[in-house]
Chain A
Amino acid sequence: MSRSSYVDAREAMRLCSLPSNQALGETLTSLADEDEDLTVVVSDYGRRLFLDGLVERHPEGFVQVGIAEQDQVSIGAALALEGFPVFAPCYASFVASRSFDQIRVNLGMMGAPLVLVGLSARYDSADLGASHCATEDVALMRSVPTATVITPADNAELASAIRWLAAHPRPAYVRITGSTTETCLHASGCDVSAGGVTQLREGSDVALVACGQLAAAALEAADILETTDVSASVTEMAIVSPLRENELLHAIRGKRLVVTVEEHGVVGGLGSAVAEVLSARDDVPPLLALGTPRSYLDGGDVRQALLTNDGLDPWGIASHILERLERSKKR
């Protein structure tokens, strides 16, 4: 595939002005225009993915399985093992959990280079209730040793990841945490093939390590901390598994505290991935893992309200950090 994973500044700005589903659909369609083999397998969630061009120009590249996520993975995996670059988008809350056995067998044991795309992860569809909030998708996919797990922070990074995976197929999971966003943390361009690590801000006291759209909230939290004389660095790590250990250790060196921020439960996600690295070493700072609570959503609400409630908006993140720093001082 000739199109590289590099997304330049102009493209980045354009992509970041679109809803995530549109950025995804357009990227897949462009890839299909270049490669007849590019395949998208959907489980009755294709109409809203801006794939009309792909369906029209490459009908064989669009495979509809109906509301049947297990079949989506089995069929996608077979096509991928037969040499087609295959993407399988689905609600994040269903794609990893509903068909996890198919995932562990096909992507895990057989190494099928199928790319699952988790749409509307965690609170993006929270008005539909707990069933539509993925709390454990990253945790599940991290447990598949062969799977690369990517949580892009904005649409530029999303497009870069999709293009990279189309050119270099491997078992993978790409998680999208928003359907609309004006976040652009890669306005000057990005290339996930370089490792997906973006140093958003330098600082000396606290190391914030974030993934997904909340990287933007982490950045704002760092600004708030600055006003209280706490200097925080912010590192965005798009590839949660396998985690880039050297870059992580470099980011946290000399800091008093490491703070992870993710729109996912703290069990099994980025926080756990970082904890696993830190627990194997003696010379590392303590960890504060921030994420969504260890419970299912009771009822339903809009995303921003829920994030604020969980202390995952900029003020919430800053408060958690200050509280933890205060507790450490008292010891």
Chain B
Amino acid sequence: MTTPSLCPDHLLARARTSALADGERGALEAHLEQCGACRAALRTGQAFDRVLGPQPGDDQLATRLWCEVERQVVRRQSRRARTIAAVAAAAVIALLSVTSVAMLRARLGRPSGSVVPAPASAAARGGVPGARAEPPRSPSEPARAVPSQLSDHLPPPEAPAMAPAASESPAPGRASRPSPSKPARVRAAGGDAPPGVRPTDDGEGAGALFSAANVTRRRGETARATEQYRRLVKEYPSSPEALVAHVALGRLLLARAGAGAGALAEFDAYLVAAPTGALAEEALFGRATCLMRLGRDREEGATWRQLVERFPRSVYAERARVRLGELSP
């Protein structure tokens, strides 16, 4: 019978991460002799320790995680902050306008403390008693003339509070484009995206389609995801999303039996469009894997060599060297 409340759980945890002192080790071993539950837990934990280390490609995976966080969280927060700044600036402008009207009235000889008249439209709409009671406005003092006289009191069009929003806010048709910085996916696909690959007016649709394809892929509907990625490439060929979609398509097709040639075409499309892109490493790996499956040894060897030469510290480099050794006569 075990006595679980007495289990030295802290020793169990430390036994896997650091050396125990002699006394601690003895105490733990004595406990393990009696407690089957702790014995099972420790051995199972050690079994996990053997396989939970870093995996090849984790660095790239971490970068992809960041790209998604940037796209779905950081940019939205940034847009929200800009919206709040714009609303705040509009409120300040409105306040200044009201204040300026009051000052103008005072300058024109109204007694201090008089009520600022409601706009004519409001008076007409609601029949506000105060509006009816105000003294008649002279013809030379129309309500519409006030804004022009207020211009001296208003902040310049590019007030400091508005400057960042004005400089960063994109054109109306591209509300979600990450201008002026490069889109995350351009960075993901290579911060040095080629001239032909740039955000376009249709980038909004491309982004939505790309997100939809990602969601579909996550659901495990690979056939539909493949179709959506293909549609993205076809309809928005110059968008950065389409560039990344080539690699995504390649990976999806690579997992499908008999689609090696199709996958190869996708990886090649990426490498042609962005030979120095950040996904070039993965595209090269995918290309070499496709060629291996297709039995095109010479091209496969050349691709592995290119991968090793360009990315000697790549997580795929070891695999490439092994495969090159197998291919060498």
A and B: real partners? no
Residues of A at under 8 Å CB distance from B?
A: none
